């Protein structure tokens, strides 16, 4: 049985922050592969398949071993990964790319809009889809930006990240951000 204890010994102050439940797993080349549970991370370290690249500062103790609480792991041997296809422009991925901000008013976005309307021949591709709030999406309807006199602050484009952890996980786990740079 493994228990979590601060690296210095028992805590004498306020209760420590909860232990992370997820660990970023990197290939031997440093490329991000996936996110694994803490249990899987400990198994990978104990079997010698991965080493702890970055830890949280606390240590997992068992009767015979001590393992730093892993936040980022790197595999000891390279694993060939087939080339990944580009991420399609789904509602979730467009909102993630645009950081849940409306491209028209800058408010919170909860839907997507086609800059050049599909009813007028616009395609469903990264360069034609933006995040929008319901109000702006309804006001724009099936009109073009030129007809409304609106302008986009920047041109929509395909995201640079191809790893599915992307921006949201990097915000929740700050230690991962330097490994997820595309």
- DSSP codes of every residue in 20-68: PSEEEEE-TTS-EEEEEEHHHHHHHHHTTSEEEEEEEEEEEE-SS-EEE
More confident residue, 28 or 10: 28
Pairing type for strands 111-114 and 32-37 reads: unpaired
Residues forming a β-bridge with 67? 60
Alpha-carbon span 19 to 33, nearest angstrom: 22
Alpha-carbon span 114 to 143, nearest angstrom: 10
Give the chain's end-to-end CA distance (angstroms, integer).
38
Between 58-62, 91-95, 119-123, the lowest mean confidence (pLDDT) is in 58-62
Q: Both tokens of residue 63?
A: 């009767």
Is residue 53 over pLDDT 60? Answer: yes
Q: Where are the domains of the chain?
A: 3-82+167-179, 91-148
The predicted structure's pLDDT at residue 174: 79
Alpha-carbon span 5 to 72, nearest angstrom: 19
Asked: is 91-148 a CATH 1.10.30.50 domain? The reply is yes
Query: Residue 82 burial (CB < 10 Å; 0-12/13-18/19+)?
Result: exposed
The predicted structure's pLDDT at residue 83: 76
The predicted structure's pLDDT at residue 161: 60
Confidence band of 151 (pLDDT split at 50, 70, 90): very high
Query: Other CB atoms closer than 10 Å to residue 155's CB: what's the count?
Result: 8
User: Which string of b and e fits 32-59 if b means at least 16 CB within 10 Å?
Assistant: bbebbebebbbebbeeeebebbbbbebb
């Amino acid at each position: 049985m493994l228990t979590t204890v601060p690296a210095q010994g028992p805590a004498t102050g306020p209760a420590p922050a909860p232990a992370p439940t997820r660990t970023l797993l990197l290939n031997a080349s440093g490329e991000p592969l996936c996110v694994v549970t803490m249990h899987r991370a400990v198994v990978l370290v104990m079997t010698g398949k991965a080493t702890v690249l970055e830890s949280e500062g606390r240590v997992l103790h068992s009767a015979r071993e001590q393992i730093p609480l892993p936040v980022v792991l790197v595999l000891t041997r390279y694993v060939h990964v087939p080339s990944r296809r580009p991420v399609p422009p789904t509602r979730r991925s467009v909102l993630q790319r645009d950081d849940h901000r409306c491209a028209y008013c800058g408010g919170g976005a909860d839907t997507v809009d086609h800059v050049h309307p599909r009813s007028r021949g616009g395609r469903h591709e990264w360069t034609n889809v933006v995040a929008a709030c319901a109000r702006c999406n309804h006001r724009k309807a099936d009109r073009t930006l030129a007809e409304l006199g609106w302008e986009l602050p920047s041109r929509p484009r395909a995201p640079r990240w191809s790893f599915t952890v992307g921006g949201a996980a990097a915000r929740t786990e700050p230690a991962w951000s330097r490994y997820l740079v595309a």
